[in-house]
């Protein structure tokens, strides 16, 4: 019998014997009897953890036993988690517990402001940084959006979430597994960010939130998609945020695609906006795809404005005309807010600046002059 076995023998209560229980990235560890230590970091090192990547959460409990030679040994019990989990990710329910801020006075303009949040890809690490840089960027975008909405004073707003809300691990991209957050943490961050945008926009009246499926958030194994389009994990995140927003009394409503559809439409004061992520067609082929949707009688075929994501760069193209209203139809490709697409830059030599696309719908439909990128 070794010394360690003797120290951790049957005379030690079961709950203080060495063990490790993990639940995802978090867990609880009991050291078993070891020499007393002075610092939390020393406890982590005793059980093989790196204090630079793992931290102790809450209080450390201990049980002591005196040895025959008069010295003491201590068994420590503590909870722990990766330090990436302690980044500034406010919990959804903590955010919801705050009383929504008072709405601004009703606007007299009567127009609706549409905000397009595209390709957040929470958890992604690339040339523009990782999670801390993404959070800083989104905080900056919301500050600019707050100023813009205060100037425009819309009567209501629309948030179009154009897909790839988080990075995932099964998108089929290359390289894979370069993220700095687990899947659960990515979904937590993504949901928190959606809630922050909705909470900000509802100060200007009712918010319509529209979400679609996408390749990064789909339920899939590698390139193989599993289940129905409605089983998309990004849509799942939205449905959790919807519950929290409703519980918080926020004036917001969500619109999702039908269970077997990947695109969706929203009628905004007589102007129909279509939303699809963009992985359904090749680069530059959105208008061809849209035309076929019209010919096939699909819902997005009736759209006056088609908004897409996926390709990360801003594109604004007039195309066709609504035969009933006589107004021009528009394809709007949204810019990304992610940390960069280095694999595409290395392959194609192309890159794009991150941005948040915003435009207005007024009595004349899509207002081209209102289109801006924050």
Q: What is the C-alpha to C-alpha distance for residues 195 and 207, in angstroms, rounded to an integer?
A: 12
Predicted pLDDT of residue 343? 41
One domain, residues 16 and 110? no
- Residue 296 pLDDT: 82
Token pair recorded at residue 67: 């040895």
Query: Which of 26, 57, 83 delimits the end of a domain?
Result: 83
Q: What is the pLDDT of residue 100?
A: 55
Only one residue has tokens 């690490």, namely: 125
- Does one domain contain both 263 and 117? yes
Phi and psi at residue 95, in whole multiples of 5°?
-65, -40
Q: What kind and span of H or E run contains 82? A: strand 72-82
92-95 contacts, C-beta under 8 A, 24 or more apart: 92/188, 92/191, 92/192, 92/195, 92/240, 92/241, 92/244, 93/244, 95/192, 95/195, 95/196, 95/199, 95/244
- Whether residue 73 sits in one domain with residue 112: no
Same domain, residue pair 276 and 366: yes
Q: If we measure between CA atoms, which residue out of 168, 122, 119 comes closest to residue 312? A: 119
Domain count, the chain: 2
- Do 93 and 79 fall within a single domain? no
3-class DSSP state for residue 246? helix
Which ranges of 62-207 would DSSP assign to H, the alpha helix?
A: 92-96, 131-152, 183-201
Helix (H, G, I), strand (E, B) or coil at 256: coil
340 lies in the same domain as 301: yes
- Kindly state whether residues 145 and 163 are assigned to the same domain: yes
Shared domain check, 79 and 92 = no
Q: Which of 52, 83, 114 is the last residue before a domain boundary? A: 83
| pTM confidence score | 0.72
Q: What is the pLDDT along the chain (374 residues), one digit of tens a residue?
A: 344 444 455 578 888 888 888 776 678 899 989 999 988 888 998 888 888 888 888 888 889 888 888 899 999 998 888 875 444 445 555 655 555 555 544 444 689 999 999 988 888 887 777 888 888 889 999 999 999 999 999 999 999 999 899 888 776 444 455 788 888 888 899 999 999 999 999 999 999 999 999 888 888 787 777 889 889 999 999 999 999 999 999 999 999 999 999 899 999 999 999 999 988 878 888 889 898 888 888 888 889 999 999 887 899 999 988 888 889 999 999 998 876 654 444 454 455 678 999 999 999 999 999 999 99
Which residues, 6 or more positions from 320, have their beta carbon under 8 angstroms from its beta carbon?
A: 291, 328, 329
- Asked which of 83, 109, 143 is the last residue of a domain, the reply is 83
Q: CA-based diameter of the chain, in Å?
A: 95
Q: What is the pLDDT of residue 2?
A: 40
If asked whether residues 102 and 240 sit together in one domain, one would say: yes
Residues 236 and 170 in one domain: yes
| Domain interval for residue 59 | 3-83
Please tell me whether residues 108 and 62 are part of one structural domain.
Answer: no
Phi-psi domain of 32 (left: phi exceeds 0; alpha: psi -120 through 50; beta: other): left
Nearest Cα residue to 165 out of 125, 218, 112 = 218
pLDDT at 99: 53
Residue 88: predicted pLDDT: 44
Cα–Cα nearest to 216, from 233, 231, 228 = 233
CA dist., res. 324 & res. 155, Å (int): 26
CB atoms within 10 A of CB 207: 23
**Residues 119, 70 share a domain:** no
Residue of 251, 268, 264 lying closest to 360 (CA atoms)? 268
Q: Which CATH number covers residue 265?
A: 3.60.21.10
């Amino acid at each position: 019998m070794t010394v360690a076995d003797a120290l951790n023998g049957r005379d030690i209560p079961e709950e203080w014997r060495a063990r490790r229980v993990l639940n995802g990235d978090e867990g609880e560890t009991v050291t078993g009897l070891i020499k007393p230590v002075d610092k939390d970091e020393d406890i982590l090192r005793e059980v093989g953890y790196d204090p630079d990547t793992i931290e102790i959460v809450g209080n450390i409990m201990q049980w002591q036993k005196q040895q025959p030679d008069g010295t003491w040994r201590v068994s420590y019990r503590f909870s722990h988690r990766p330090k990436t989990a302690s980044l500034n990710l406010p919990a959804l329910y903590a955010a919801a517990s705050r009383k929504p801020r008072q709405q601004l006075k009703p606007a007299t303009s009567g127009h609706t402001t549409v905000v397009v949040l595209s390709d957040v890809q929470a958890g992604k690490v690339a040339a523009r940084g990782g999670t801390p840089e993404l959070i800083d960027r989104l905080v900056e975008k919301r500050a600019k959006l707050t100023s813009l909405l205060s100037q425009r004073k819309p009567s209501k707003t629309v948030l179009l979430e154009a897909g790839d809300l988080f990075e995932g691990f099964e998108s089929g991209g290359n390289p894979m597994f370069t993220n700095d957050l687990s899947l659960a943490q990515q979904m937590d961050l993504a949901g928190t960010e959606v809630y922050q945008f909705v909470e900000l926009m509802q100060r200007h009246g009712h918010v319509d939130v529209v979400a679609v499926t996408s390749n990064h958030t789909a339920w899939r194994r590698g390139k193989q998609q599993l289940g129905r389009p409605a089983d998309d994990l990004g849509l799942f995140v939205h449905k959790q945020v919807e519950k929290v927003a409703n519980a918080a009394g926020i004036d917001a409503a969500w619109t999702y695609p039908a269970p077997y559809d990947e695109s969706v439409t929203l009628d905004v004061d007589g102007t129909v906006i279509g939303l699809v992520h963009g992985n359904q067609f090749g680069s530059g082929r959105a208008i061809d795809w849209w035309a076929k949707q019209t010919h096939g009688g699909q819902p997005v075929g009736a759209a006056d404005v088609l908004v897409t994501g996926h390709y990360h760069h801003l594109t604004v193209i007039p195309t066709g005309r609504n035969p009933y209203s006589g107004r021009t139809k528009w394809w709007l490709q949204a810019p990304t807010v992610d940390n960069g697409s280095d694999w595409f830059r290395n392959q194609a030599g192309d890159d794009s600046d991150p941005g948040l696309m915003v435009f207005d719908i007024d009595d004349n439909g899509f207002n081209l002059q209102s289109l801006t990128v924050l």
